[in-house]
Structures are given as C-alpha cells and as structure tokens.
Amino acid sequence: MKLLNNNNNSRYGKPSFCYKYFKWLLWFSLSFYFFASFLFNHKPNNSTSSFISKTTVHQYSNKVSRALIESVSLKHHQDSLNGLKIYIYELPSRYNTDWLSNERCSNHLFASEVAIHRALLKSDVRTFDPYEADFFLIPVYVSCNFSKVNGFPAIGHARKLISSAIELISLQFPYWNRSLGSDHVFVASHDFGSCFHTLEDVAMADGVPEFLRNSIILQTFGVKYDHPCQRAEHVVIPPYVSPEGVRKTLATSDVNGRRDIFAFFRGKMEVHPKNVSGRYYSKKVRTVILQKYGNDRRFYLRRHRFAGYQSEILRSTFCLCPLGWAPWSPRLVESVVLGCVPVIIANGIDLPFSSAVPWSEISLTVPEKDVGKLGSILEHVASTNLSTLQQKLWDPRITRALMFHDRTVDGDATWQVLHALSQKLKRSHRRSRVFSE
C-alpha cells in the first residue's frame, strides 16, 4: 500500500539522472559479477565447453571477463594486501559443512561465517603450506543450530564447539601453541560477537571466552566505547545479505527509480516493551517510533514479517535502522545496496569498513534521545542535502564493500576483511621471523 500518492510527494519522488538508473546499473553490475564468476568457476576445456563454445563473441567476452577478474584480483592481492597468506584448517565436517544441510545456514543474517570461509577457500591468499601463512582461519559455523521453537539460531553450543576445535588443532599442529592463538582468526557474526549470548547483560557478564582472547575475531558487533564483547583484537564486518537475493529484488521489482515512501521501517516494534532483567528491547526507541509516527502519513511502519520487504526498501527515501537488542542490523546493508538513505539510531555504533565506506556521507545518525524528533530531522535533510547523500550512496564501490560473494572480488566484503588483516601483520609469526633475521 502506498501511503503517499504521486501528487503530494514530488519533493521526495523526483529522481536525479543517476538515481533513475540506479536500479539498472546495480542490476547490471551484479549480473555481470554473477556471469563472470560463473564462467570463472566453470573453466571450460575443449571437451566440456558446451556452455560457451557456441559463438566467438561469447568466447571473446568470456576471455575478457576472466582476464578482468584474474588481473584485478592478482594485482590487488599483491599490491594492497602486502602478500598476505592464510592457512585454513580442514576440520571434521561436524564443525562446519554438516550444518549446511539447512539451507538457511548460508543465507541468514549471520551467514558471514559461511561466506568468508567459502570465499577464502577459493582465494589467492589461501596457502596450503602453514609455514608460509601469516594467519590461520578456524572455520567453525556456530549460528546454524536453528531453534525448533522460534527458528532463531541457538548459540548455546558455540563455546563448546569452538573450544573443541581449538583443542583438536592444538594437538595436531604446533601453530596454536606457538602464538597462543594470536595469529588465528574466527568469525563471530551474531548479536554480541564472541560473547555468544543474545542478551547484552548476560553477554557482558560472560565476556569473550578465555580461549579466544588472544585471537582475531571478525564480528558484526562493534561500538565505539569500551565493551566486554570486543575485548579481543577484532574487525567489524557487515551482516550477511545475500547478493543473489538483492539481485532478485532488483530484477523483479517494478520500480522506476521513484521513491514514493518517505520513511520506512518494518520489524519488531513493541507497544509495551517488557522488562527483561532491567533492559527494554531497542531501549524503547522502536516503541517511540511507533507511538509518535504510527499514524503519520510520511512514515510507512510495519510490525510483521514480509518476505518482499526489500522491494519496500527500494521504494523508500529514508530507511530507519534503529537498534534492537544489539546496535547493528542487516537493514544497514540492505538500505545502502538498495539506495535508501540509512537513518542509524544506535548510540556509539561502530560501523564496518569505515576506510571503504564513507558512512557520514551516505547515512544519517540520529541520537537515541532524539528519536521523537525524527520527522523534523528527516524533513530538514530532505529539503537541504538529500540529493548529495543519494548521489554518494549510488557509488557501486560502497555496495561492493558491504556484500560477501562466494568468490571474492576486489573491494568486496571478504576483500575488506583481508585488507584489515593485512594491517595486522605484526601478529604474523612468519613476518616476525623474517624481520628478526
């Protein structure tokens, strides 16, 4: 249902030139990426090249796209990543791939633990020689034990699963003991990172388990103040949003670049939030949004799940990203990649990959205490610098930096992780040995 009709929304609805073609450019670049990576993953040889050998034109474009990807990735891996090398432990399948029998495991918001593993397996930075490695990835998937009651990931088993993986590799290999884990890398993609609990007070009380405190944690959780759940070397990463899902949204939505929704939010908003051991969901921010703007025609607010919500984001000018239990949410990524200005309402949040994503130029930050003034804040931006924000948001490099692909392309989210690791090479045992000689 459209809350604003075509006549009264001309201010928000009039697209700029870039903006009008945003969808098509994005669709094209994603399609190109999928096409190129398909070719790249299915290297034709003469006996099996039925897919490509039909015309010389296809052969030519195949060569061009492969050459493009190969040269680009080679160049970056050598130049910007300082020759970074990663060894990936091959753990028994109960630690990781067994969980993939549930299809959600590789698609839900915590799926970066799967995506990063997959991308690194196929990446140029992977080494099979542990003596050549700067870092060691321990690929344990802890977020795919979906509760039979509510469908949410039950992460109660996470500590046990990870510590048993560490035990296994520290018995079989010398590398963990050598550095006490400081050159070992884990992904902890759920609410409060390696604290492994969905409630912040419990997570804070439990803290990062002893056995992970020396290591490098890739985590979606990040705040700019001291917090027990980031007391380990860490890299803030974006939540997982399926590139295939985004591509489908772009291909199937009948939008023409016009954004007829002024401000959008779909998600849990409690009318009477419960006191959960002294804390309230979203610190009541979402409740205020509902109370204050529930009947405001500029705001399109929905409390129930809807599978097609990405098409609503595509129709929206501003997308609200209020905190839930944790400050981060996949809305941040979905808003950016679908061209809706994210309105971040989560005090102190530390956003991913700030060296690649100029967050202050593409999003708005509203202090939690000002959530009641959202209407006038957004009106002010709409009448002043909205088009500046939208134009910056359109930069395809930003979209690329926030999404994980099965095969990493330069500048994508896995590449950003590698780049961050390449800044931590002083933790590499191999480098310290080379330098001291």
| Cα–Cα distance, 198 to 343 (Å, whole number) | 24
Q: How far is the CB of 122 from ligand NAG (least distance, A)?
A: 28
Q: How far is the CB of 339 from ligand NAG (least distance, A)?
A: 15
Q: How far is the CB of 74 from ligand NAG (least distance, A)?
A: 35
Measured from the CB atom, the residue of 107 and 170 that comes closer to ligand NAG is: 170
Residues 6+ apart with CB under 8 A from 364: 318, 341, 342, 343, 344, 377, 378, 381, 389
Is residue 91 classed as helix, strand or coil in its secondary structure? coil
Q: How far is the CB of 295 from ligand NAG (least distance, A)?
A: 25
Measured from the CB atom, the residue of 278 and 308 that comes closer to ligand NAG is: 278
Q: How far is the CB of 157 from ligand NAG (least distance, A)?
A: 3
Enclosing H/E stretch for 39: helix 22-41
Measured from the CB atom, the residue of 171 and 307 that comes closer to ligand NAG is: 171
Q: How many CB atoms lie within 10 A of CB 39?
A: 19
Binding-site ranges for ligand NAG (CB under 6 A): 145, 147, 154, 156-157, 170-171, 174, 177, 275, 277-278, 361, 380-381, 384-385, 388-389
Measured from the CB atom, the residue of 171 and 434 that comes closer to ligand NAG is: 171
Q: How far is the CB of 46 from ligand NAG (least distance, A)?
A: 46
| Cα–Cα distance, 398 to 412 (Å, whole number) | 9
Measured from the CB atom, the residue of 206 and 361 that comes closer to ligand NAG is: 361
CA 294, chain centre distance (Å): 29
Q: What are the C-alpha distances in Å from 168 to residues 184, 213, 399?
A: 14, 18, 38
Tokens of 117: 């593993």
| Cα–Cα distance, 73 to 65 (Å, whole number) | 12
Measured from the CB atom, the residue of 173 and 309 that comes closer to ligand NAG is: 173
Are the C-beta atoms of 421 and 84 separated by less than 8 Å?
Answer: yes
